[in-house]
Structure 1
Amino acid sequence: MNINEKDKILKEAIVETIAFFDMFNFPLTETEILKYIKIKSDYLEVRKELMNLIRDKVVCSSEGLYFLVGADLNIEARKENYNHSDRKFKLALKVSKYFLIIPWIKLICVANNIGTDNLKNSGDIDLFIVSKPKKIWLTRLFVVLIAKIMNVRPQKNNKTDKICLSFFISEDSLDLSELRQGGEADKYFEYWLLGLNPIYSKDNTFEMLFKANRKIIDNFPNYYEQKISSKRKMNKQISGFYELNWELFFGKLESLVKNIQIKIMPAELKSIASQGVGVILGDNVIKLHLNDKREEFRKKYNEKISKIKN
């Protein structure tokens, strides 16, 4: 590949990355652009192409952030969402510490955070939870019960700062590549994975999750795992005796608990589950995204890129 070809590919990768995050009102720093582009590069090369894009009036820059022409308001949106995110992380930690009563939880992440600290004020707080093998439905049962007791479950007309419990996987199914919609064309899922923020990780489960998904993460050759503040993490050791008692009382009820939960689920959820996209009711994956917007995001993104190129 000659220099001109590489410059062209790098420029396209930068535009595609900025355009994707523009859908979520999130302008990017140079560091973030380098981190999220799908081509091996360095700061100097990225900065050079950013200057060219500014010259060509494709991209603008202000306060160290880069965004598409006409998207200036996204700067204030990013600042506002940073403050909202801080509040929501504190709430997630407050609620999740009670979830750790359940000994089968191996990982809790704040999810759907496309862009660093980009949680909107009116939204709920999505958690992604990993359980021990053959304990996924038991884990969901007790997590939902605790959330209901604490009155933090989202309601139809009240989702702000509520806890959304719609994605569970088992520790023996950490490879999420099969959950992509359309393979590598599923940009949203890739950035969703990179945006997971662990607030509790037992036995290095978060590191194991990333290792299991190297085929996705390797698409981002400049990516590095962001260091999470200790203020946004929980550490709790559960004794073997405590876990044994839970196992004795509830350990054999996984199949029964699964059948009961599926039976009382809304018919619409069970109907969509047969399509295997937004809703999955399996032994290793529980995904309850009734309104899976990935196809909508894909169309919006393609339209945005087409408009830029024309």
Structure 2
Amino acid sequence: MNLTNDTLAKNILRVVAYFDLFDYPLTAKQIFQFLPQNSVSTDDVNNAVARLVDSRMLYAEGGYFYLPSSNINIVQQRVENERRAKRKLAIARCVSAFIKRFPFVRAVFLTGSLSKHVSPLASDIDFMVVTAKGRLWICRTLLTAFRRIFLFGSRKFFCTNYYVTENGYLHSRQNIYTALEVATTKVVWNESAFAEFQLRNGWIKEFLPNYIPETEKNLLLSPSRSVIQRWCESLLEIFPLHRLENALMEIHRRHWQKKFHQVGNKRFEIMFMISPDTSACWSNDHQQPVLVQYHRKLSSLGLE
């Protein structure tokens, strides 16, 4: 099959190649959703996929498509990870119901592998927590204290490594990696906040023009706020929280700078986002390595 003038086929291979980095075969529907090209129909994509399979440039198994160079057990692995994810999604919903009761929490989203309905054996349950403005670092400190005291520091079911206020919805790092992470984020509590999050990150359409976010109703919690939360917030407002908020942000900054002093300033800025409206801690940041591997794979396939 000659790909020289077949833009659609090349873009399909680019999509499959990206997810191959995660041993994640795609369905035809997913290929269409993640395609970096619009003005094509699902039939166009299905026909192009069929041609790629016929020419052995893609393999097909059980409705999933992957590269010939992929892990031989890639489909079985996805099926097993999906089965494991079903159990973890129920846990994630319960944990979210707990998180939403903490003071100053305004929305809870699901991120990471579980938001893509897969759960590798060693994966955590990752949450993105939206907080009230001017209270992000207080909220983070309370949730971190709970995890360290009552869960002995375990992140397995309680990994809250990304916090934003509504002013921090816009993702500053705009590339294919972050576009896919934003697109696959799932709302568990507060649909209106999630709609605003998606609206602010409309830039992902540059990378994923066919993607339409879907709310999974079975994940959603009641939209109402907890009476306990309201009571706790009223009690806490007695104290000078503005000064406490600023102090906690600087305490976190100094702690992380001391702990990761060996990585250098440039690497530190990639690993952490520290501001009044954003707190992100990606000490095992995968973004840059994934992008490097992706471009290498595209080059090996002649798709650069």
TM superposition shift of 1:35: 0.5
Once the two structures are superposed, the pairs formed by residues 225-236 of structure 1 within 5 Å of their partners are: 225-230=213-218, 232-235=219-222, 236=224
TM superposition shift of 1:8: 1.6
Once the two structures are superposed, the pairs formed by residues 211-250 of structure 1 within 5 Å of their partners are: 211-230=199-218, 232-235=219-222, 236-239=224-227, 242=231, 243-249=233-239
After superposing the two structures, state which structure 1 stretch, 19-28 or 109-118, moved more.
109-118
Once the two structures are superposed, the pairs formed by residues 8-27 of structure 1 within 5 Å of their partners are: 8-27=6-25
Distance 1:244 1:218, change over 3 A: farther
Q: TM-score, normalised by structure 1?
A: 0.85
**Is the contact between residue 7 and residue 49 of structure 1 (CA under 8 Å) also seen in structure 2?**
no
Once the two structures are superposed, the pairs formed by residues 44-193 of structure 1 within 5 Å of their partners are: 44-71=43-70, 72-113=72-113, 116-151=116-151, 153-154=153-154, 161-176=156-171, 178-180=172-174, 186-193=175-182
Q: Which amino acid aligns with 2:48?
A: E
Match 2:36 to one of 35, 38, 57? 38
Query: In structure 1, the residue corresponding to 2:113 is in which secondary structure?
Result: coil
Matched, 1:281 2:274: yes
CA offsets 1:32-81 (integer angstroms, 9 cap, x no match): 11111011121110011112211221101111111111434111111111
**Is the contact between residue 113 and residue 123 of structure 2 (CA under 8 Å) also seen in structure 1?**
no
TM superposition shift of 1:221: 2.1
Query: In structure 1, the residue corresponding to 2:159 is in which secondary structure?
Result: strand
CA distance in 2 between partners of 1:115 and 1:74 (Å): 19
CA offsets 1:82-101 (integer angstroms, 9 cap, x no match): 12212222222232322222
TM superposition shift of 1:257: 2.5
After superposing the two structures, state which structure 1 stretch, 242-251 or 45-54, moved more.
242-251
**Is the contact between residue 126 and residue 163 of structure 1 (CA under 8 Å) also seen in structure 2?**
yes
Distance 1:241 1:45, change over 3 A: closer
Q: TM-score, normalised by structure 2?
A: 0.87
Percentage of pairs with the same residue: 17
Distance 1:9 1:74, change over 3 A: same
TM superposition shift of 1:152: 6.3
CA distance in 2 between partners of 1:129 and 1:279 (Å): 16
CA distance in 2 between partners of 1:287 and 1:241 (Å): 26
Distance 1:272 1:244, change over 3 A: farther
CA offsets 1:250-299 (integer angstroms, 9 cap, x no match): 63321122233334446134675843222122211111111212221112
**Is the contact between residue 100 and residue 106 of structure 2 (CA under 8 Å) also seen in structure 1?**
no
Match 1:206 to one of 178, 188, 194? 194
- The aligned counterpart of 1:28 is 26
**Is the contact between residue 102 and residue 139 of structure 1 (CA under 8 Å) also seen in structure 2?**
yes
Q: How many residues align?
A: 294
Matched, 1:302 2:287: no
CA distance in 2 between partners of 1:7 and 1:43 (Å): 20
CA distance in 2 between partners of 1:288 and 1:116 (Å): 21
Matched, 1:254 2:253: no
TM superposition shift of 1:131: 1.1
CA offsets 1:153-207 (integer angstroms, 9 cap, x no match): 33xxxx6x3422221112112111x233xxxxx32111111111221126x1100
- Unmatched tracts of structure 1, length 5 or more: 181-185
CA distance in 2 between partners of 1:270 and 1:134 (Å): 28
TM superposition shift of 1:6: 11
Distance 1:132 1:28, change over 3 A: same
**Is the contact between residue 21 and residue 114 of structure 1 (CA under 8 Å) also seen in structure 2?**
no
- The aligned counterpart of 1:183 is none
